[in-house]
Amino acid sequence: AGSTLAAPAIAQEQPEVTWRLTSSFPKALDTIYGGAEVLSRMVSEATDGKFNIQVYSAGEIVPGLQAADAASSGTVQACHTVSYYYVGKNPAWAVGAAVPFALNARGMNAWHYHGGGIDLFNQFLGKQGLFGLPGGNTGVQMGGWFRKEINTVNDLQGLKMRIGGFAGQVMQKLGVVPQQIAGGDIYPALEKGTIDATEWVGPYDDEKLGFQEVAPYYYYPGFWEGGPTVHFMFNKSEYENLPPHYQSLLRTACQAADANMLQQYDWLNPKAVQSLVSKGAQLRPFSQEILTASFDAANEVYSEVSAENEDFKMLWESVKDFRKQWYLWQQVSENTFDTFMMIQQRNNAL
Amino acid sequence: AGSTLAAPAIAQEQPEVTWRLTSSFPKALDTIYGGAEVLSRMVSEATDGKFNIQVYSAGEIVPGLQAADAASSGTVQACHTVSYYYVGKNPAWAVGAAVPFALNARGMNAWHYHGGGIDLFNQFLGKQGLFGLPGGNTGVQMGGWFRKEINTVNDLQGLKMRIGGFAGQVMQKLGVVPQQIAGGDIYPALEKGTIDATEWVGPYDDEKLGFQEVAPYYYYPGFWEGGPTVHFMFNKSEYENLPPHYQSLLRTACQAADANMLQQYDWLNPKAVQSLVSKGAQLRPFSQEILTASFDAANEVYSEVSAENEDFKMLWESVKDFRKQWYLWQQVSENTFDTFMMIQQRNNAL
């Protein structure tokens, strides 16, 4: 009798819950794929193994770009993905992750956690049966790898570049011909000249693919992803059916895993960029002409999309209001400190 | 019989633990004081109230600057503090938080979480019976409030400034006369001219004290705190006696609460700086002459202290090695993106 009485009491306290999480990323991208493993470890350890999130890499259950659909439909309870993968359904998806010339990583975090971004984005995600929380950030990405130098907007005419979604739409206005190619096929396409350029992530991830051997010009910054937010998304009913203490733990662990990814990239990228340069990567900043033309093209896209899409408009206006304040403050704060420190670095004084 | 059998099983799973945490901060500093309340809420919610951390503000149990001592001696199990408050004991304490011209907030986080900083700093804290984890960051602070404009190093001669610890030592080399004054006494001292200047935190916290009325020149950046890490510190034995799942939960919640403080400051400071300007604050960047002389003075202090203090040297060399790589990478990544965005801000194009 003791055990039958004891069992429900224990079960109420720490019920056994097993979830499947499908990642949009392959295991080879250990930092970004690893973000879901970090979440899983945190949740499992804190519950002595009772709340168990099993992580599957892209393709094990569904293809990487169908991760959100799988969580929405209940095929899995959770996914780890980037919301801009789903702009084909509705451009509003992109705003929760990154759109061109928006916020850097700290700005995105401020907006998500304290500027109402999480709630606003969940007003949208809720309609798809999802509940989402920030689940990582890469910091500003690199502009990608180019076979030839590009200096002017004219150099972009007819340029075949692997670049997707919203960023592709913006670049198309400048004459770029966006290409959709899976990660593993990029290197041979660049080698053969089937494409002229590709964007990927940043130094640590890019180094594994060896692009410097076939497209050595490595441009920066990736202005279409100033600080992209990766997301954990949960099937809304499954999340709501969790006991409140598991919900709370999940939110805490998401916030910790979110921060951890950026912390890890910030440790790994400084070494990787130096290593890439030693292997032949030629670092090049995008010219002001190209940046300015791209900024104008992005603003055109925002006007067009806002005119016809209420979800997009609501989210974008919220980001845009904060963007103005954020970059004013950046001039007074981080930028003056960082600039002084960068001058010392260039003078070999650090 | 059922209940007596059930009780121990439940007790093992989620034992009731009540800790007292003493904060170095008054409740009026809601963002930084609030960091401990965030931690407490996360831990309590995730354990259904079983692991309970009671937060006390500065002075309720011990004065703010004795928080680490209280955790070390076991008067309390935990504290929330900034390690540079304890430089009087040993300058090595400062390196885990902030020393002049070191890393910005993202750099500090990269070093702590993935560059071995947490372990290295705990080698030092362990000797004081403490285990510490990052527990917040303000971002780069402001350089503070001055009654008169200062343009040259000569303007610093004999300047009575409220500035403590390591930063005070550096400024002293340039002729500043550091003053130690409690928060509540600063305003009248500035008003009467007993002191000429004060540093505090950043716009959101500074605005509450109204310094712009008595010392309107608001200088930036606070180069002695490029990204100061606030710490949660635990009595080492108390931490080690926790069941492993509570230890893990505490680590996860600390990482989340740590990130959350910076996210909150980053949301609040942009609005506050605009509000301060509307109330009469005169924003001024420190001149390159003052920055360069301060940088040289800081390097002198580092050489002097490293020569006689092994703990300091071990920690500082680790930060310094990463600093060089970090600011090289910043030039390629955040700085180019942010600079372009700040130009658009100045052009009223955002």
For residues A314 and A289, give the distance between their C-alpha atoms in angstroms, rounded to a whole number: 30
Are B333 and A106 in contact (CB < 8 Å)?
Answer: no
Q: What is the tens place of the pLDDT at every residue in A288-299? A: 999 999 999 999
Q: How crowded is residue A88: how many other Cβ atoms within 10 Å of its Cβ?
A: 10
What are the structural domain ranges in chain B?
2-138+227-268
Please tell me the predicted confidence (pLDDT) of residue B12.
60
Q: What is the tens place of the pLDDT at every residue in B241-251? A: 999 999 999 99
Q: How crowded is residue B174: how many other Cβ atoms within 10 Å of its Cβ?
A: 17
Please tell me the predicted confidence (pLDDT) of residue B184.
84
Contacts of A142 in chain B (CB under 8 A): 332-333
Beta bridge partners of B146: B197, B217
Helix or strand holding residue A283 (H, E): strand A282-285
Are B255 and A256 in contact (CB < 8 Å)?
Answer: yes
Which of B252, B260, B327 is closest, CB to CB, to A342? B327
Tokens for B21, please give them.
Answer: 């945490």
For residues B222 and B166, give the distance between their C-alpha atoms in angstroms, rounded to a whole number: 13
CATH topology of domain A2-137+226-268: D-Maltodextrin-Binding Protein; domain 2 (3.40.190)
Q: What is the tens place of the pLDDT at every residue in A210-267? A: 999 999 999 999 999 999 999 999 999 999 999 999 999 999 999 999 999 999 999 9
Q: Quick check: B3 pLDDT over 50?
A: no
Contacts of B6 in chain A (CB under 8 A): 2, 5-6, 9-10
Pairing of strands B78-81, B17-23: parallel
Task: Give A184 or B282, the one with higher predicted confidence.
Answer: B282
Please tell me the predicted confidence (pLDDT) of residue B32.
96
Give the sheet arrangement for strand B217-220, strand by strand: B177-179, B160-162, B197-198, B144-146, B217-220, B282-285
Location of structure tokens 């509307």: B278
Mutation target among A329, A330, A335, A339 for the B interface, most CBs of B within 10 A: A329
CATH number for A144-225+281-325 (one of 3.40.190.10, 3.90.1150.10, 1.10.3720.10, 3.40.50.300): it is 3.40.190.10
> What is this model's ipTM?
0.96
Number of C-alpha atoms within 13 angstroms, CB side, residue B208? 15
Distance (Å) of CA B295 to CA A111, A143, A338, B104, B329: 34, 33, 13, 15, 21
Nearest to B167 by CA among B23, B295, B327, B13: B295
3-state secondary structure of A17: strand
Please tell me the predicted confidence (pLDDT) of residue B4.
39
Amino acid type, B256? A
CA distance B10 to chain A (A): 6
Q: What is the tens place of the pLDDT at every residue in A76-88? A: 999 999 999 999 9
Instruction: Determine contact, residues A317/A311, Cβ cutoff 8 Å.
Output: no
Are B111 and A267 in contact (CB < 8 Å)?
Answer: yes
Contacts of B338 in chain A (CB under 8 A): 104, 327, 330, 334-335
Please tell me the predicted confidence (pLDDT) of residue A183.
83
Which of A47, A245, A260 is closest, CB to CB, to B255? A260
Percent of chain B with pLDDT over 90: 94
- Report the b/e string of B19-42 with b at 16+ CB within 10 A: bbbbbbbbeebbbbbbbbbbbbbb
CA angle B176, A350, A330 (to 5 degrees): 70
Closest residue in A to B334 (Cα) is A140
Amino acid type, B192? K
Torsions phi, psi for B185 (to 5 deg)? -95, -5
Q: What is the tens place of the pLDDT at every residue in A188-214? A: 999 999 999 999 999 999 999 999 999
3-state secondary structure of B150: coil
For residues A77 and A239, give the distance between their C-alpha atoms in angstroms, rounded to a whole number: 8
Q: Is A48 exposed, middle or buried (0-12, 13-18, 19+ CB in 10 A)?
A: middle
For residues B56 and B37, give the distance between their C-alpha atoms in angstroms, rounded to a whole number: 9
For residues B314 and B321, give the distance between their C-alpha atoms in angstroms, rounded to a whole number: 11
Q: Quick check: B310 pLDDT over 70?
A: yes
Q: What is the tens place of the pLDDT at every residue in A89-136? A: 999 999 999 999 999 999 999 999 999 999 999 999 999 999 999 999
Pairing of strands B217-220, B282-285: parallel
CATH topology of domain B2-138+227-268: D-Maltodextrin-Binding Protein; domain 2 (3.40.190)
In CATH terms, are A2-137+226-268 and A144-225+281-325 the same topology?
yes
Q: Quick check: A8 pLDDT over 80?
A: no
For residues A210 and A295, give the distance between their C-alpha atoms in angstroms, rounded to a whole number: 30
Tokens for A255, please give them.
Answer: 């916030």
Which of A222, A323, A350 is closest, CB to CB, to B350? A323
Tokens for B300, please give them.
Answer: 């002198």
Torsions phi, psi for A166 (to 5 deg)? -60, -45
Please tell me the predicted confidence (pLDDT) of residue A9.
45
For residues B253 and A234, give the distance between their C-alpha atoms in angstroms, rounded to a whole number: 20
Distance (Å) of CA B241 to CA A134, A312, A319, B135: 33, 51, 45, 21
Cβ–Cβ pairs < 8 A, chains A and B? 280
Place B6 in a pLDDT band, splitting at 50, 70 and 90: very low
Helices A105-114/A244-278 angle, 10° precision: 170
